[in-house]
């Protein structure tokens, strides 16, 4: 079944970019450049966008090394956060004058979005998906789009279970049953439990799509994105 949303004029949206899309296994300059061009084009049409970027392989490599050296979990999380902020700076570099130059270290620092806000992680204990949900709440965004390395939400990890069922739409209550409630630095999941709870509490319209430019654009503009809609 094809998924789409209604076209929104003067859209206010937050994009959560998985680190796997931006920089795994290597920095994806082609995607970053294309993404920046997409954002600039949408802004010229009057849409307002904010971006939160994950850590990807760089984060997992540093977290894994720190664990082997005996570091505490919160310390590992802090390393991952640094990686997300490096990836955020790559997006800022591509956006040039369209973006604020500084990566906010907390959602509370963000006051408005005349330019593009680009964030990474904030504090240990949750993923950048939770940051994106918090930012969408703070900026009163109409839409949260999570662009990742799979094409939607499944009943199980499709890379491990070929019989996993893909959802075109899933109720947020059902999604909470699927997500891992325990946070661990460097976890790779579609959405973490804190992000889902924020989405539920604030009734944030959320789409999970494959991290391809055409699908991201379709999700933002009401086209066929072939992902999953979280029903709130």
Summarised one tens digit per residue, pLDDT across range 149-196 is 899 999 888 888 888 899 999 999 999 888 766 656 646 667 888 999
Closest CA to 177 of 153, 160, 147, 143: 153
27 and 86 Cβ atoms separated by less than 8 Å = no
Residue 53 reports pLDDT greater than 90:
yes
pLDDT exceeds 60 at position 121: yes
Mode of pairing for the β-strands spanning 12-17 and 143-148: parallel
129 pLDDT more than 50: yes
Q: Work out the average pLDDT over 17-28.
A: 91
Specify the pLDDT at position 110: 95
C-alpha of 15 from chain center: 6
Tokens of 191: 């959405």
Domain 12-231 sits in CATH at: 3.40.1160.10
Mean pLDDT of 87-94: 97
pLDDT: which is higher, 74 or 159: 74
Instruction: State if pTM tops 0.85.
Output: yes
pLDDT band at 199 (very low <50, low <70, confident <90, very high): very high
Q: What's the pLDDT at 5?
A: 47
Residues constituting the chain:
232
- E-state strands within the chain: 12-17, 48-53, 117-119, 143-148, 153-154, 166-167, 169-171, 206-210, 228-231
Report pLDDT for 161.
87
Across residues 55-74, what is the average pLDDT? 92
How high is the pLDDT of residue 4?
Answer: 52
């Amino acid at each position: 079944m094809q998924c789409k949303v209604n076209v929104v004029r003067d859209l206010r949206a937050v994009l959560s970019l998985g680190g796997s899309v931006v920089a795994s296994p290597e920095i994806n300059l082609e995607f970053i450049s294309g993404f920046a061009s997409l954002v600039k084009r949408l802004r010229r049409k009057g849409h307002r966008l904010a971006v939160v970027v994950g850590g990807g392989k760089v984060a997992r490599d540093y977290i894994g090394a720190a664990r082997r050296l005996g570091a505490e979990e919160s310390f590992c999380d802090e390393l991952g956060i640094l990686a997300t902020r490096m990836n955020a700076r790559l997006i800022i570099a591509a956006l040039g004058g369209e973006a604020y130059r500084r990566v906010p270290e907390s959602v509370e620092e963000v006051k408005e979005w005349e330019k593009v806000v680009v964030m990474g992680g904030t504090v240990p204990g949750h993923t950048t998906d939770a940051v994106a949900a918090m930012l969408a709440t703070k900026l009163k965004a109409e839409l949260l789009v999570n662009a990742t390395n799979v094409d939607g939400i499944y009943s199980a990890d499709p890379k491990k279970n070929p019989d996993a069922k893909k959802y075109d739409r899933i109720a947020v209550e059902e999604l909470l049953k699927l997500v891992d409630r325990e946070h661990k630095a460097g976890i790779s999941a579609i959405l973490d439990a804190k992000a889902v709870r924020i989405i539920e509490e604030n009734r944030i319209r959320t789409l999970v799509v494959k991290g391809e430019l055409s699908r991201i654009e379709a999700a933002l503009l009401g086209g066929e994105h072939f992902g999953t809609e979280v029903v709130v």
